[in-house]
Amino acid sequence: MNTTRLMDFVKIVGGVFISGDPHECFRSVSVDTRTLAAGDCYFALVGPVHDGHDFIKEAVSKNAGVIVFSRGDITLSENKISLGIPALIKVDDTLKALGDYAAASRREFDARVAVVAGSNGKTTVKNMLSDILTLEGNTHKSPSNYNNLVGLPLSILGASGDEKFVVLEAGISVRGEMERLGKIASPDVAILTNIGAEHLAGFGDMEGVLREETKLLDSLRPGGVAALNIDDERLSGVSRTLKKSVIRYSVRSMPGADISAASVTVSPDGVEFIMDYAGEALDINLRVNGVFNVSNALAAASAAKAFGAPAEKVKAGLDGFAPVAGRMQKLKLPNGGVIINDAYNANPDSMRAALAAFCEAYPQCSKIFVLGDMLETGAAETKEHEALADFIMTLPFDEVLLVGERMRHALRRMKTLHPPAPVRHFASVRELSEELRDPKYTSGSSAVFFKASHSIGLSEPATQLYADHSREI
């Protein structure tokens, strides 16, 4: 990013100078003293676990150039104050200040900005779109899952300013977040992947999810484009009434789709299909499993179309796409056994889609499901975990291993069915890891699937299972 003068910065964030030279400049920001570099502007954010104000002394010791704070008064040694190092700026709300600064920086972009939102597939679509757009020009994307009111601003502020494209991800869990994220990002293209049973504790029901997710569309810049999945009934309805430019995509070739898929073929190596790219037929070979990843590819292609990407770049970007760790990550053992690590996150819709894709890809294998709690299902917690149990019973599998308190609902449900399912529950990930030492889970005929909400920590036993004798493919 370009340098910012402190006198301009104070106006942007609505702050008050406590000390420092208003003519001085800074280039980079930090919210974490562990990675802070000399000269950075440090925002003392107040979080649910840590308060950044507790680390201000550490930021000063690491020669932060600016401290943005909201709580109390800060006293520094006389020699520091006499040098004006660091500059001290007090604001009412450090999180809001971070967002305001990112929004101002975004207004200076020459780059065109895409924001990916929706209940499932955000990170995958972001990465697919970035892989396509990189072939068109310098592209910056948000790292990892930097998608909330901290991560999205940091993603914007991490851009150099020389990019042709910026691809961001917007994730929400409570009301009001999407409106704020949209105002900060001000997208040229907004992608909504689907409306699912995510964060019901914060949104109440599916209509609540729809209301919040679609607020991103209100933030589109003049002439902006919405890329909408019309396989989703709710988004299909939005596409018919939205008073903005829309590119519609559909795996099922729904009427009115601008981007669609046909001749979908699933194998252990991935998914092949023919994409109708607004009238051009493209043979796409994805190295990831699941029809839902075909939908993710169509979402990325729709946004690429909005940016004017030619068909050959879309094909090259998607054919070269590789999944990141924890997202349908395929690892093959030397003896032919397979482990799928999809334990980065889970909600009811993504759990069903991933399980179905796994079973479709490995019909001849002995299939073991290792599943953990789906968090933030709110009042629907019992219902959703019992419904998952019912869904599992429609699939071909050999064994189910469950972990987490919420998965006890699924356990009880599966035990009452006739015949009862081969299912076991573990009180902790540690107990589960001990069970996974059994050689049957790494036999040449086995396929083991891991999925849970991120904080359950199922990636750890998945990694342990293959760490010593597997290779990623």
H helix runs in 289-420, sequence order = 291-306, 311-319, 348-361, 381-392, 407-416
Of 71, 15, 150, 166, the C-alpha closest to 4 is 15
- Flag whether pLDDT at 321 surpasses 60: yes
Split at pLDDT 50, 70, 90, the class of 85 is low
Distances (CA, A) of 231 to 189, 215, 259: 19, 20, 12
pTM here?
Answer: 0.87
Using a pLDDT cut of 90, give the percent of the chain over it.
81
Mean pLDDT confidence for 293-319? 98
Mean pLDDT confidence for 330-354? 91
- Flag whether pLDDT at 2 surpasses 80: no
The residues facing 191 across adjacent strands are: 116, 227
Residues 6+ apart with CB under 8 A from 339: 330, 331, 332, 333, 447, 448, 450, 462, 465, 466, 470
Structure tokens at 305: 């179309």
pLDDT at residue 79 in the model: 45
Split at pLDDT 50, 70, 90, the class of 81 is very low
Residue ranges of E strands in 70-148: 87-90, 112-117, 139-141
- Flag whether pLDDT at 473 surpasses 50: no
Using a pLDDT cut of 70, give the percent of the chain over it.
96
Split at pLDDT 50, 70, 90, the class of 203 is confident
Structure tokens at 267: 């194998």
Which is it for strands 446-451 and 366-372: parallel, antiparallel or unpaired?
A: parallel
pLDDT at residue 76 in the model: 59
Question: How many CA atoms, within 13 angstroms, populate the side-chain half-sphere of residue 367?
Answer: 18
Structural domains of the chain, ranges and CATH numbers in brackets: 4-94 (3.40.1390.10), 109-319 (3.40.1190.10), 329-472 (3.90.190.20)
* Distance in angstroms (rounded) separating the CA atoms of residues 316 and 187: 25
- Flag whether pLDDT at 336 surpasses 70: yes
Which is it for strands 259-267 and 25-26: parallel, antiparallel or unpaired?
A: unpaired
pLDDT at residue 306 in the model: 98
Split at pLDDT 50, 70, 90, the class of 198 is confident
Mean pLDDT confidence for 435-449? 93
Q: What is the pLDDT of residues 31-74, one digit of tens each?
A: 999 999 999 999 999 998 899 999 999 999 999 999 999 987 77
- Flag whether pLDDT at 78 surpasses 70: no
Question: How many CA atoms, within 13 angstroms, populate the side-chain half-sphere of residue 157?
Answer: 28
Q: In what order do the strands lie in the sheet with 66-69?
A: 16-19, 87-90, 66-69, 41-43, 29-30
Q: What is the pLDDT of residues 204-250, one digit of tens each?
A: 888 999 999 999 999 999 999 999 999 999 999 999 999 999 999 99
